[in-house]
Amino acid sequence: MKSLFLQGYELSIKIKNTRLVFSQGIDPFSNTKEVLQLPASACPFDNVLIQGRGYVSTEALERLAESNINVIMLYKCGKLYSYFNKIGGKPFLLNLSNQ
């Protein structure tokens, strides 16, 4: 299992020109940011773990789910607070009406 761990302030996952763009949070000592760009269809990770503050675009979540890559969000202390994964190929109906 291969995982990518993003942490820090202003981390992000987005799509840019059909590529997944993973940005590490800003390093407070050097004030720099690490960026990794990969083709959305050839992302080598099984999991992406996020700990910090930033954003993940819905388009990126969709592409990650299509590639069966889980997105796991953690509190600062490392405790799990969110887990996104693909619904296993079955049709899913979401009813938002107040019945």
CATH superfamily of 3-84: CRISPR-associated endonuclease Cas1, N-terminal domain (3.100.10.20)
Domain ranges in the chain?
3-84
Q: Look at the pTM and tell me if it is higher than 0.75.
A: yes
| 51 contacts 76 by C-beta, under 8 angstroms | yes
**Predicted local distance difference test score (pLDDT) of residue 60:** 94
The pLDDT averaged over each successive group of 10 residues in the chain (99 residues) is 90 93 84 87 90 93 90 90 76 58
CB 6 within 8 A of CB 33: no
